[in-house]
Amino acid sequence: MTQPLRIGIAGLGTVGTGVVKIVRQKANLLAARAGRPIQIVAVSARSRNKDRGVSLGGYGWEDDPVALATREDVDVFVELMGGADGPAKAATEAALAAGKDVVTANKAMLAIHGQDLAERAETAGHVIRFEAAVAGGIPVVKALTEGLAGNEVTRVMGVMNGTCNYILTRMEEAGLPYEDVFEEARQLGYLEADPNLDVGGIDAGHKLALLAAIAYGTQVNFDAVELEGIQQISIEDIRTAANMGFRIKLLGVAQMTGRGLEQRMSPCLVPADSPLGQLQGGTNMVVLEGDAVGQIVLRGAGAGEGPTASAVMSDVIEIARGTRLTTFGQPAHGLEIARPARASAPAPYYLRMRLIDKPGAMAKVATVLGDAGISIDRMRQTRHDDTTAPVVIVTHKTARDALDSALRYLPGTGVVQGEAVAIRIEDV
């Protein structure tokens, strides 16, 4: 009889419980597809007695995930605890040292320590698989490492945080301000314990850094990702964008340029009739562009018990089949350190500012933009009050450096109240 693949699961939250359910409920299907039985031998979590809605009977229990990772009867250590450091990192390192393969959904750990962990694994002849760490149930890691391996990737782009997409689409649909929808998302349990991981773009930035490393054969470098969250997006921005034929998305973009590797996660205006513009609710979408294949679009659930557990099991099954791939699609020791680059391709920008109501105010703003080499495509003023006027400007294509220079000089005009909001209009 073919020997079963024996797994140990550390972390029995939503995803870990989902993995247990799949293994228990679909044992025959998994065995048929993997070519051998897949068996859970032991688990580890913070609480042993918590009711998780699934039986843990017959599994060994370890209070310490490191002890689970080093058990002799575990072939694959499945890390679903989360966190860049702490128990997750310690247990993963222990598993590799003990001769185990690792499957993880931990984007933060890999975005920060991925290079070191990949080198450890590959030096020891083991694998780290992480399909579940990026875009939930969407098989984007496999698409890049396998399906598109014959392509030179020209751009990776996507909406990779369902919570942010929910907030932005809910603002548009219900006509509600950001603060109200943020609170609604919190009450629904959509936000991380630290909400800034979601709305600040950090969670999505981790995912982008991992995809960029695979796409361009570089060492993962989360510190080089330009991050801007959605906290400054107002309901006026949502409405104005819609009137112009756009929607606002927290969009990740990675591309290799002559200056280096550009990685940015920021709000962007995208055409409302584009695939990204039509993406609603908590769904994720990743767009991959290659020189041979052109553009492909992957869409699906970016989080949740079923989709993420499905991604975990896809990696487990690949290991059971005997598939041995390097962590980032190329040998870790050969990955280059990419030179970080800011957005270099010119693009039009949406600018929102509040001008003090006095003669010549708009002329002063136009002068600052003109001095930076930025021309105005169109302008709109709305809801004038006694002292100030909200103004929206859409520029012609300009470099981000030129725009930043203009934004630095605007406060010195004495006619701009508060801080101007600038949003790139992305060509998708």
Q: Are strands 416-425 and 340-341 parallel, antiparallel or unpaired?
A: unpaired
Count CB-CB contacts under 10 A for residue 165: 25
Identify the CA nearest to 407 among candidates 356, 352, 342, 344: 352
Name the β-bridge partners of 38. Answer: 5
Query: 356 φ, ψ to 5°?
Result: -70, 135
207 tagged catalytic: yes
405: helix, strand or coil? helix
Instruction: Choose the catalytic residue: 107, 207, 249, 364.
Output: 207
CA 69/CA 95 separation, integer angstroms: 5
CB proximity list for 142: less than 8 A, separation 6 or greater: 131, 314
Residue type, 48: R
- Lookup: tokens for 1: 């009889």
CA 348/CA 427 separation, integer angstroms: 9
CA 399/CA 357 separation, integer angstroms: 29
CA 299 to chain centre: 13
Strands of 128-129's sheet, edge to edge? 60-61, 38-44, 5-10, 76-79, 101-104, 128-129
Do 4 and 37 touch, CB atoms closer than 8 A? Answer: yes
Name the β-bridge partners of 248. Answer: 269
CB proximity list for 189: less than 8 A, separation 6 or greater: none
Length of the chain counted residue by residue? 428
Do 293 and 154 touch, CB atoms closer than 8 A? Answer: no
Q: Which residues are catalytic?
A: 207
